[in-house]
Amino acid sequence: MQSSVNPNSDRRSLRVAVVGGGITGLSAAYTLAKSSKSDQRALQVTLFEASRRLGGIIRTEEADGFLMELGPDSFITNKPGGVRLCEELGYSTELISTDSRYRRSLVLSRGRPQPVPDGFMLMAPEKPWSLLTSPVLSLRGRLRLLAEYFVPGAAPAGDESLASFVRRRFGSEALDRLVQPLVGGIYTSDPERLSLRATMPRFPEMEAACGSVIRGVLKQKQTAGRGASEGSGSGARYGLFATPRRGLGDLVSTLERRLRTAENVRLQLGTPIQAIHGPAQGSAEWVVQTEGQQQQFDAVIVTLSTWLAAKMLQGDQFLQLRQQLNSIEYASSALVVSGHLLSDFTYPMDAFGMVVPACERRQILAVSFSSRKFPERAPDGQIVLRTFVGGAMQPELMQHSDQELLEIVNSELQQIFGMSREPIFAEVMRYDRAMPQYHVGHLDRVAAIEHSLQQHTGLQLAGSGYRGVGIPDSIDSGREAAERVLRLF
Ligand SMILES: Cc1cc2nc3c(=O)[nH]c(=O)nc-3n(C[C@H](O)[C@H](O)[C@H](O)COP(=O)(O)OP(=O)(O)OC[C@H]3O[C@@H](n4cnc5c(N)ncnc54)[C@H](O)[C@@H]3O)c2cc1C
């Protein structure tokens, strides 16, 4: 998020507040700490975190031989942010990739788990012929999907919803039975409202450049086959997803250790910010208010959800910015992490997980077979599942108590996978308004926020609400915000 800069070059020291100790805030603080070390810049960094632990949504627990990811479980490697940070920390040897033995995904189809057609990436079939034998779509649906190759490009000017794009190019059945659940598993969003340009720009780009998405995907595959992209992406070494051997919480601990040993970084845990005040007339100092205390800073990096950032920014000068930040909607979801004996299922659980189309009318969004996806997550003969509930399509489910959510999940696991016994353990995590919804027009909304920020020198906004919802995006967003602050010198 761009803000205009203050050529503050004669200052000897710059005091920077980082608000929020999730991965975005940690990335920002780490970038500042690292730079101050290498450039000998006089920089004082204070990171404020409301809770007593760092990591925000990222949380890993270990017990009785199980490793449980209670938030995210991995990050994509074709966006460089995550891998690059691990490399800088000397941590990349700790990264593991997915277990190739179970490398396939399932989709619930008429009540039964079926493999997602081989090579089907979100909406694009890399191996069109593998679709022909898939029972997930009717013959008519399969032929319509493959006919995309010949559908002339007719993109509307400007943004388009994911649903409109997929219906136009691949047909309704592909949308309802494959694309909606696969994309919903990432964004927990309503495809009728999800912005294509903000979430999957490469697909409309393929339509524009090649006349068809399938043509674009095949062309890309050919180029990759000739070795043009080999080794160029950070993902080349790890596969599409990577995670630390001891879980994402271990990456957070590594960052925390690094920050605790940095001379000019102060971590203030258990310190919720109550308000942020812009500089008074004739001053350039920002005021960060915590309970009973006010502290002055030259720059503030706010890494909270946009609606929380709006709450913190007080005063009439932020009226427009607050409205813009509040225009980005968020969805709530719950995650049930449970441990089971493999023998308690009639289904072999031989995949990375399963997504559930809305048209199946179930009460779960997706189940990740966590200990199949990554090794060393469960003792032999046992399995860790992560079942997602709620999201933008089923917000009413969030009204249930934890016990009711557990019962819903158990009932679904029984019906779908033939689970015969209650889990060995189960934990319910609630994520209240944690998933930003990149609705049609999102990029315009973000551009407007960036424009407004130019009036507030010293203020930076970062996090998953703006230009990418995943961990690598958040890491990049925090780093870029810190780099903009460093340019204040
Ligand atoms: C259930 C779920 C699963 C996900 N799975 C994946 C995945 O597998 N892979 C992936 O790449 N991404 C995943 N994501 C997205 C990913 O988790 C986020 O992109 C990332 O963790 C966001 O980090 P953040 O630092 O911006 O926000 P947060 O992690 O929300 O951190 C914000 C921090 O600010 C603190 N805070 C709040 N209010 C205040 C205040 N007033 N004062 C001070 N501090 C405050 C909070 O306590 C928190 O620690 C998932 C998200 C969810 C919700």
Residue 407 covered by a domain: yes
Identify the helix (H) or strand (E) that includes residue 338. strand 330-341
Q: What is the CATH number of the domain that holds 203?
A: 1.10.3110.10
Is any atom of ligand 1 closer than 6 Å to the C-beta of 50? yes
* Per-residue pLDDT at 233: 43
Digit-coded pLDDT (tens) for 219-271: 888 887 665 443 344 445 667 899 999 999 999 999 999 999 998 999 999 99
* Per-residue pLDDT at 92: 95
Residue 215 covered by a domain: yes
- Final residue of a domain: which of 206, 235, 264? 235
Instruction: State in Å: Cα 24 to ligand 1 middle.
Output: 8
* Per-residue pLDDT at 1: 59
Distance separating alpha carbons of residues 50 and 60, to the nearest angstrom: 19
Residue 105 covered by a domain: no
The CA-based diameter of the chain, rounded to the nearest angstrom, is 71
Residue 75 covered by a domain: no
Do 121 and 225 lie in a common domain?
yes
| C-alpha distance across the termini of the chain, in Å | 18
Polymer length of the chain: 489
Average per-residue pLDDT for the chain? 92
Do 182 and 153 lie in a common domain?
yes
Do 158 and 17 lie in a common domain?
no
Q: What is the CATH number of the domain that holds 364?
A: 3.90.660.20
Residue 85 covered by a domain: no
> The tokens of 298 are what?
């030259």
Residue 271 covered by a domain: yes
Is 36's pLDDT higher than 90? Answer: no
Question: Strands 353-355 and 66-69: what pairing?
Answer: unpaired
In our burial notation (b when 16+ CB lie closer than 10 A, e otherwise), range 245-259 reads: ebbbbbbbbbbbebb
Instruction: State in Å: Cα 471 to ligand 1 middle.
Output: 9
Is any atom of ligand 1 closer than 6 Å to the C-beta of 470? yes
Residue 77 covered by a domain: no
Do 377 and 413 lie in a common domain?
yes
Distance separating alpha carbons of residues 184 and 179, to the nearest angstrom: 8
**Against a cut of 0.85, is the pTM above it?**
yes
Do 302 and 375 lie in a common domain?
no
* 465 CA: nearest ligand 1 atom: 26
* Per-residue pLDDT at 234: 44
How large a percentage of the chain has pLDDT more than 70? Answer: 93
Do 289 and 316 lie in a common domain?
yes
Do 120 and 231 lie in a common domain?
yes
* Per-residue pLDDT at 360: 97
Is any atom of ligand 1 closer than 6 Å to the C-beta of 213? no
Do 303 and 338 lie in a common domain?
no
Residue 67 covered by a domain: no
pLDDT tier for residue 186 given thresholds of 50, 70 and 90: confident
How large a percentage of the chain has pLDDT more than 90? Answer: 82
Lowest-confidence pick of 193-197, 234-238, 375-379, 419-423: 234-238
Domain around 148: 116-235
Do 426 and 367 lie in a common domain?
yes
Digit-coded pLDDT (tens) for 267-323: 999 999 999 999 998 889 999 999 989 999 999 999 999 999 999 999 999 999 999
Instruction: State in Å: Cα 74 to ligand 1 middle.
Output: 13
Span 190-203, average pLDDT: 95
Do 197 and 315 lie in a common domain?
no
Tally the domains of the chain: 3
Is 154's pLDDT higher than 90? Answer: no
Distance separating alpha carbons of residues 401 and 407, to the nearest angstrom: 10
* Per-residue pLDDT at 225: 67
Closest-CA residue, ligand 1 atom 5, reads: 72
pLDDT tier for residue 9 given thresholds of 50, 70 and 90: very low
* Per-residue pLDDT at 123: 82
Region for residue 171 given its phi and psi (left: phi exceeds 0; alpha: psi -120 to 50; beta: otherwise): left
Backbone dihedral angles phi then psi of residue 221, each to the nearest 5 degrees: -65, -40
Do 292 and 252 lie in a common domain?
yes
Do 355 and 371 lie in a common domain?
yes
Span 192-202, average pLDDT: 95
Q: What is the CATH number of the domain that holds 262?
A: 3.50.50.60
Which is higher by pLDDT, 120 or 432?
432
